[in-house]
Amino acid sequence: MPWQAFKMHEDLDKLRDMEMFGEMGRDGVWAVMANVMDVDSLCHAFDGCAAVFHTSAFMDPGGVSGYSKPMAHMEARVAERVIESCVRTQSVRKCVFTSSLLACVWRQNSPRNRHIPTIVDENCWSDESLCRDKKLWFALGKTMAEKAAWRAARGRDLKLVAVCPALVTGPRFCRRNSTGSIAYLKGAHEMFAEGLLATVDVQKVAEAHVCVYEAMSNTACGRYICYDRIIQRAEEAAELERQLGIANRISGETPTDHPTWFKLCNRKISRLMSSRRSCTYDVYSVLYN
Residue 59 vs residues 49, 148, 180: alpha-carbon distances, Å: 27, 19, 7
Task: Indicate the residue type of 26.
Answer: R
Task: Give yes or no for a contact between 102 and 143, defined as CB atoms under 8 angstroms apart.
Answer: yes
DSSP letter (8 states) at residue 253? T
Is 142 labeled as catalytic in the residue annotation? yes
Which helix (H) or strand (E) covers residue 164, if one does? Answer: strand 159-165
Catalytic residue among 69, 135, 142, 159: 142
Task: Indicate the residue type of 220.
Answer: A
Task: Give yes or no for a contact between 200 and 229, defined as CB atoms under 8 angstroms apart.
Answer: yes
Label the pairing between strands 94-98 and 118-120. unpaired
Label the pairing between strands 198-201 and 167-169. parallel
Residue 127 vs residues 3, 84, 130, 144: alpha-carbon distances, Å: 30, 25, 5, 10
Measured CA to CA, the distance from residue 119 to residue 4 in angstroms comes to: 40
Residue 120 vs residues 102, 114, 197, 268: alpha-carbon distances, Å: 11, 16, 12, 12
Residues taking part in catalysis:
142
